[in-house]
Amino acid sequence: MTNVVPFIYTNFNGIEIPWIEIQNSDGSSFFMTQKDYDAQQATLAANSAPTAQ
Amino acid sequence: MSRAQLTSTVEQNTGGAVAPFLAGKNKIINGDYSIWQRGTTFSPTSAAQIYLADRWCIYQNGSGTFTVSQQAFDYSASPAADKLPITGYNPAYFTRLAITTLGTTSAFEYEQKIEDVKTFANQTVTISFWGKSPTSSGISFYYRQNFGSGGSSNVQGPTQGFTLTTSWQRFSYTVTLGTIVGKTIGAGNNLEIIFNAGIGANQTWDIWGVQVEAGSVATPFTTASGTVQGELALCQRYYYRMTNTTSDGYGVFAFGSATSSTSATFYITLPVTMRTSPTLIDTVVSNLRWADASVASTFTSFVHTDTPSSPNLIALQGLGSSGLTPYRPTWLQGNGVTTAYLGFGAEL
């Protein structure tokens, strides 16, 4: 079970960047920008789902 | 065909006069499963891409529960039957993929993404691996040319099926990869080498020694680099994990300074140039804390930005704390947890 928690980060130049935290049930977390997360989801969707052989 | 050409072709195809242990021959990194930075047991439970032993990932099409684990070859006088060594090689570990519960899953892809879709394009390659299965499960193999973000549609090669038996066997598959002429190549393009299987409950696959090489013959297995340190460096181009190194769990990870009463920035020089500025931070936030000469506390999250971060340097910002004194030198350390870690990802 994972939770995806968005948050806004203001960088060194005062620019707001959307980040997300993916919280796993074992306590570990993955932090990535919303843009990278969206790109990875798009890549997963583009790769057709595995087919049974 | 001239004699010289014939000789050259024969040598190339048999590994004859060409030394079979050339570094770089095998395009698969960590094909011998010697590097496990992320851990040694994984339990993927959803249709997401989960990274396992370095460079290897799994994707399933449903909600099944897998257990993917590091297994040690047994070199004792009476080795366990399922951990018998492979004749002619002396590796330490192999990978075991096992289905715990099936859920809605009917198939999975277990794969490695080789950076650069131009790899072996329009060339004949031989893909080989050793496999066995206590449950005599079948497995299939194919490649997929992934042209990256904004690139041409993926090109998937023909499928070759194998039936694994209860003892180690080497399997190989020779195929000519598609051409990339006329294709649009986008960012993050890669060549995917994929194991695929339709699955049932209680199935298990053991895999070791995956190799992808030019030519039509599977030559003796060698790792991509040929050395332990070389293989680790190749893996760290895509993922790097720092771990606590002290017995009390307060090992120091990085130095920096407080930037406000709630945040601090730490600079971490990476051991190798990564593929890109890392796009992922992997940790257990509560297992790390900031400390200065006076006080210490935990953060609630970590971020970095592309500037000033780079493929060589991370500027890691800890956020959401309190009690920091702005501009005071500060370090990042374990929070009394011996298993504390901080990982950075630049995977494809």
| Domain boundaries of chain B, sorted by first residue | 2-236, 240-345
Q: Could you tell me if B317 lies within 8 Å of chain A, comparing CB atoms?
A: yes
Going by C-beta distance under 8 Å and a sequence separation of 6 or more, which residues neighbour residue B33?
Answer: B53, B56, B70, B91, B93, B94, B95, B208
Report the gap between the CA of B87 and the closest CA in chain A (Å).
30
Across the interface, do A12 and B305 touch by the CB < 8 Å criterion? Answer: yes
Instruction: Compare CB distances from A39 to B49, B149, B308 and report the shortest one's residue.
Output: B149
Report the gap between the CA of A12 and the closest CA in chain B (Å).
8
Interface test mutation site (partner A, options B110, B146, B280, B300, max chain A beta carbons within 10 A): B280
The three-state (H, E, C) secondary structure of B230-282, written as one string: HHHHHHHCCEEEEECCCCCCCCEEEEEEECCCCCEEEEEECCCCCCCCCCEEE
The tens digit of pLDDT for each residue in B171-227 reads 999 999 999 999 999 999 999 999 998 888 889 999 999 999 999 999 999 999 999
**What superfamily would CATH give domain B2-236?**
Galactose-binding domain-like (2.60.120.260)
Across the interface, do B305 and A44 touch by the CB < 8 Å criterion? Answer: no
Q: Could you tell me if B198 lies within 8 Å of chain A, comparing CB atoms?
A: yes
Whole-number Å distance between alpha carbons of B4 and B148: 40
Q: 3-state DSSP: chain A helix, strand, coil percent, rounded to 5?
A: 25, 45, 30
Across the interface, do B303 and A12 touch by the CB < 8 Å criterion? Answer: no
- The candidate with the shortest Cα–Cα distance to B284, out of B239, B330, B238, B243, is B243
Going by C-beta distance under 8 Å and a sequence separation of 6 or more, which residues neighbour residue B170?
Answer: B128, B129, B130, B209, B218
Query: Residue B27 pLDDT more than 70?
Result: yes
Q: What angle do CA B191, B48, B105 make, to 5 degrees?
A: 105
Query: Residue B2 pLDDT more than 50?
Result: no
Across the interface, do B303 and A17 touch by the CB < 8 Å criterion? Answer: yes
What pLDDT score does B178 carry? 96
**Residue B65: closest CA among chain A residues belongs to which residue?**
A1
Scanning B45-64 for CB atoms below 8 A from A yields 45-49, 59-61
Judging contacts by C-beta atoms under 8 Å, the chain A residues touching residue B307 are: 12-13
Whole-number Å distance between alpha carbons of B147 and B4: 37
Q: What angle do CA B113, B117, B121 make, to 5 degrees?
A: 120
Place of tokens 């366990």: B80
What pLDDT score does B20 carry? 62
Judging contacts by C-beta atoms under 8 Å, the chain B residues touching residue A52 are: 106-107, 197-199
What pLDDT score does B1 carry? 43
CB pairs A-B closer than 8 Å: 92
The per-residue pLDDT of chain B, averaged, comes to 92
Whole-number Å distance between alpha carbons of B85 and B72: 9
ipTM confidence score: 0.87
Mean pLDDT of B91-109: 92
Across the interface, do B305 and A43 touch by the CB < 8 Å criterion? Answer: no
Interface test mutation site (partner A, options B281, B313, B314, B316, max chain A beta carbons within 10 A): B281
Place of tokens 């928690």: A5
The tens digit of pLDDT for each residue in B259-298 reads 999 999 999 999 999 999 998 999 999 999 999 999 999 9
The tens digit of pLDDT for each residue in B126-144 reads 999 999 998 888 999 999 9
The tens digit of pLDDT for each residue in B291-306 reads 999 999 999 999 987 7
Mean pLDDT of B320-337: 96
- The candidate with the shortest Cα–Cα distance to A27, out of B339, B53, B243, B315, is B339
Task: Enter the pTM of the model.
Answer: 0.92
Whole-number Å distance between alpha carbons of B33 and A47: 25
Mean pLDDT of B153-161: 93
Collapsing DSSP states into helix, strand and coil, what is residue B122? coil
Chain centroid to CA B85: how far? 23
Instruction: Compare CB distances from B319 to A9, A27, A36 and report the shortest one's residue.
Output: A9
Query: Residue B148 pLDDT more than 80?
Result: yes
Across the interface, do A21 and B106 touch by the CB < 8 Å criterion? Answer: no
Reported CATH class of domain B240-345 = mainly beta
**Residue A16: closest CA among chain B residues belongs to which residue?**
B305
